[in-house]
């Protein structure tokens, strides 16, 4: 086995030589750019300090055991970490050379504190966070009044999730988009978000955000009341993972062939239902009676015969009549 041990020893020394080359190449890249602020700020003072402390503990252990190879390897790591730490202070950055060393260290640590949770935020950023911000902004603007408290609330979450947000840009986009009904458009945004199967916990948090957004300006407008009832109903249905019975359907009953053709053109995805009186068209199911009535009024203004249909209401009416 002597030959095998000698072979391993040879490979260890080759590995040490590779470590020297590796340390040199990495350090060379940083050292060449040590005067650049972005390079200095990319070094973690706290992380490098922990690395040096950890390596020093191991170094003491290796010295006590007289483990030469490990002493050399650990010393290389410590030397490299110390160079990176000095670069991280910004000692060679133009404009900072006259500042004292400890002042530079404090400044670097202060910058690092601000960025310490950046990676965590990226990991824990909600799925489709951009859509959530879009929903919150459109909810805030549903009454065409953008309260400063609503704006600050959205900006807070946008900043937490590291999403670029500009209220002015969002409002320009709203004006440029051709939207027939802002209430239905907001409802469709929520349905689009839920179609991506976000986690239940995240959807529950969105429900809290919607409630918080509505109460942010300490008043509930008729527009907010109308749309929130529908949005929260949709979310509750998603959270319950079962079909709710208190659903309101908007039904259009065509009065002639021309109206039937027009319905097909306006609502190509509408569901046709055969009844004893003929064919009717279902515009969709809604969780708020007020919202369904609002949708129904849109079609009545176009001279369609439209009604809000709810099975529970019909059963209750029949029970009351029979009693």
Report domain extents, the chain. 2-116, 121-240, 248-322
Whether the pLDDT of residue 278 is over 90: the answer is no
Q: Is the pLDDT of residue 88 over 60?
A: yes
Per-residue confidence at 97, pLDDT binned at 50, 70, 90?
Answer: low
CATH value of 248-322 in 3.30.300, 3.30.530, 3.40.50, 3.30.70: 3.30.70
Q: If pLDDT is split at 50, 70 and 90, which confidence band does 315 have?
A: very low
Name the architecture of domain 2-116.
Up-down Bundle (1.20)
Of residues 174 and 130, which shows the higher confidence score? 130
Query: pLDDT digit string (tens) for 173-195?
Result: 877 775 667 888 899 999 999 99
Mean pLDDT taken over the chain: 83
- For residue 218, what are its two tokens? 């300490």
pLDDT at 129 > cutoff 80: yes
Q: What is the mean pLDDT of residues 29-42?
A: 87
* Banded pLDDT at 91 (limits 50, 70, 90): confident
The interaxial angle of helices 222-240 and 129-140, nearest 10 deg, is 150
Contacts of 285 by beta carbon, 8 Å cutoff, 6+ apart = 247, 248, 249
Paired residues of 251 in beta bridges: 282, 307
Q: How confident is the model at residue 321 (pLDDT cuts 50, 70, 90)?
A: low
Average pLDDT value for residue range 275-301: 86
Nearest to 132, CA basis, from 185, 205, 61: 205
């Amino acid at each position: 086995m002597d030959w095998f041990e000698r072979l391993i020893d040879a490979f260890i020394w080759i590995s040490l030589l590779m470590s020297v080359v590796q340390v040199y190449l990495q350090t060379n890249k940083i050292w060449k750019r040590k005067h650049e602020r972005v390079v200095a700020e990319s070094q973690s003072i706290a992380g490098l300090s922990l690395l040096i402390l950890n390596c020093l503990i191991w170094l003491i252990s290796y010295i006590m055991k007289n483990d030469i190879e490990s002493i050399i390897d650990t010393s290389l790591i410590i030397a490299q970490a110390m160079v990176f730490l000095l670069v991280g202070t910004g000692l060679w950055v133009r404009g900072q050379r006259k500042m004292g060393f400890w002042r530079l260290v404090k400044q670097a640590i202060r910058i690092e504190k601000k960025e310490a949770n950046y990676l965590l935020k990226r990991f824990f950023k909600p799925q489709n966070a951009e859509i959530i911000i879009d929903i919150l902004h459109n909810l805030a603007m549903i009454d065409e009044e953008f309260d400063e408290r609503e704006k600050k609330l959205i900006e807070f979450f946008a900043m937490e999730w590291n999403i670029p947000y500009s209220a002015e840009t969002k409002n320009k986009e709203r004006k440029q988009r051709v939207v027939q009904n802002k209430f239905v458009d907001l409802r469709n945004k929520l349905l689009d978000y839920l179609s991506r199967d976000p986690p239940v916990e995240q959807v529950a948090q969105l429900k809290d955000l919607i409630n918080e957004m509505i109460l942010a300006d300490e008043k509930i407008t008729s527009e907010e009341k109308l749309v929130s009832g529908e949005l929260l109903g949709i979310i509750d249905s998603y959270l319950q993972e079962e079909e709710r019975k208190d659903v309101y359907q908007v039904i259009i009953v065509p009065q002639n062939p021309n109206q039937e053709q027009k319905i097909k053109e306006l609502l190509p995805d509408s569901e046709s239902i055969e009844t004893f009186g003929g064919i009717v068209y279902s515009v969709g199911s809604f969780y708020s009676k007020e919202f369904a009535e609002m949708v129904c009024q849109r079609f009545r203004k176009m001279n369609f015969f439209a009604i809000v249909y709810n099975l529970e209401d019909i059963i209750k009416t029949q029970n009351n009549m029979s009693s």
